[in-house]
Amino acid sequence: MEETYILGIESSCDETAAAVVKNGRTVLSNVIYSQIDIHTLYGGVVPEIASRKHIEKITQVIDEALREAKVPLERMDAISVTYGPGLVGALLVGVGAAKAIAYAAEKPLVPVHHIEGHIAANYIEYPDLEPPFLCLVVSGGHTHLVRVMDYDRFEVIGRTHDDAAGEAFDKVARAIGLGYPGGPKIDKAAKEGNPSAIDFPRAKISGAEFDFSFSGVKSAVLNYLNQCEMKQMEVNRADVAASFQEAVVDVLVERAVAAAKRSGEKRIAVAGGVAANSRLRAAMKEACEKEGLSLCYPSPVYCTDNAVMIAVQGYYEFLKGHLADYSLNAVPNLAVGEDRFGRACR
């Protein structure tokens, strides 16, 4: 069989990334330039700085990905790129670079949905994973329960009504003085804390059993911190981190397992930055074993933003013939299951 090589490009937030993947499953290179150190100074991502850094780094990162893969640009079958959702200025840098390369090297241009890319990260280390399966997508901007019906067909069966899970991690981390990015810092601090020390709320949405809400738990943490301050009580940050994390993880696991049981899916995948959380991984494993469901989650490096996942999803989009022309634009608020022409589902 002819090998198919895809160059993937990702620049939707604060990582400038490029990767080469063979036949949709074999990683030949994975280059990530993280801007985290710069944004840490401001306590979060500054969009204008992100765009400028992407411009500075994108060509270098793409060159490095091709060099590391030892496959020349001429041999690529297509160029895939994240076109949404994300920060518009950041996305435009990747889309612009991909269009320029596709034009100059006369290669097909494949637009990839960032969240569908996160889901596709699961194909890398689970060679037998194929749709259909259920995916819990938990990132900085998204919390969704998605039925993956085919490589390019998605049905959202649950979503957050307010904050995304990662956003809640970041806000709580900031409130307890752990800094940015909050998720990994809470994960680490929680290891020293007692998850039952404080009883934070686990929100249920009436009439929408697979939906989420994390603004309540976030406010409960802020109230707790205020009360401690008023009573001049010392705050045990590890206990707050562990108890908050436990509340979020409980809800994610409970709803994902309930959704799998309802939809009849035997396999659950977890995706997005929060999928790197060690407590979520352990709790999902335990729950899935108990319910006889099989579980997959990517290695942490493929959970957070990277371009391998964009090349993997790009491969399947390419096989389905979902190509773009040079009018491709960034779509910052693209919804899951919505394609580049704004249709509800493919």
The residue written with tokens 């007692």 in the block is 194
- The nearer residue to ligand KG4, 4 or 278, going by C-beta atoms, is 278
Are the CB atoms for 108 and 78 separated by under 8 Å? yes
8 Å CB contact between 214 and 248:
yes
Site for Zn ion contains 305 (CB under 5 A)? yes
Residues in region 251-290 near ligand KG4 by CB under 6 A? 272-274, 276-277
- In Å, how far are 122, 256, 269 from 133, measured between CA atoms? 11, 12, 7
Q: Which does 158 bind (CB under 5 to 8 A by kind): Zn ion, ligand KG4, none?
A: none
Residue 305 Cβ vs Zn ion, minimum distance, rounded to whole Å: 4
14 contacts Zn ion (rule: CB under 5 A): no
Site for ligand KG4 in 305-344 (CB under 6 A): 305
Distance, CA of 279 to CA of 275 (rounded, Å): 9
Beta-carbon contacts of residue 8 (< 8 Å; ≥ 6 apart): 17, 18, 19, 20, 21, 80, 81, 112, 307, 308, 309, 310, 311, 312, 314
- Which distant-in-sequence residues (6+ apart) come within 8 Å of 67 by Cβ? 29
Q: Amino acid letter at 245? A: Q
| Nearest Cα to Cα of residue 121 among 319, 314, 321, 344 | 314
Nearer to Zn ion, 305 or 339 (CB): 305
Applying CB under 6 A, among 152, 187, 211, 265 the residue interacting with ligand KG4 is 187
Q: Which one of Zn ion, ligand KG4, none interacts with residue 339, CB within 5 to 8 A by kind?
A: none
Query: Rounded to whole angstroms, how far apart are CA atoms 274 and 284?
Result: 13
Mention every residue, 6+ apart, whose C-beta is less than 8 A from residue 296.
122, 125, 126, 129, 267, 268, 269, 270
183 sits near ligand KG4 (criterion: CB under 6 A): yes
Q: 116 touches which of Zn ion, ligand KG4, none (CB within 5 to 8 A by kind)?
A: none
184 binds ligand KG4 (CB under 6 A): yes
Binding-site member from 35, 139, 160, 277 for Zn ion (CB under 5 A): 139
**Site map (CB under 6 A) of ligand KG4, residues 120-139, x = contact:** -------------------x
Task: Determine which residue in the list 89, 108, 111, 182 makes contact with ligand KG4, applying CB under 6 A.
Answer: 182
Give the count of residues interacting with ligand KG4 (CB under 6 A): 20
The footprint of ligand KG4 (CB under 6 A) covers 13, 118, 139-141, 166, 169-170, 181-184, 187, 272-274, 276-277, 304-305
The footprint of Zn ion (CB under 5 A) covers 139, 305
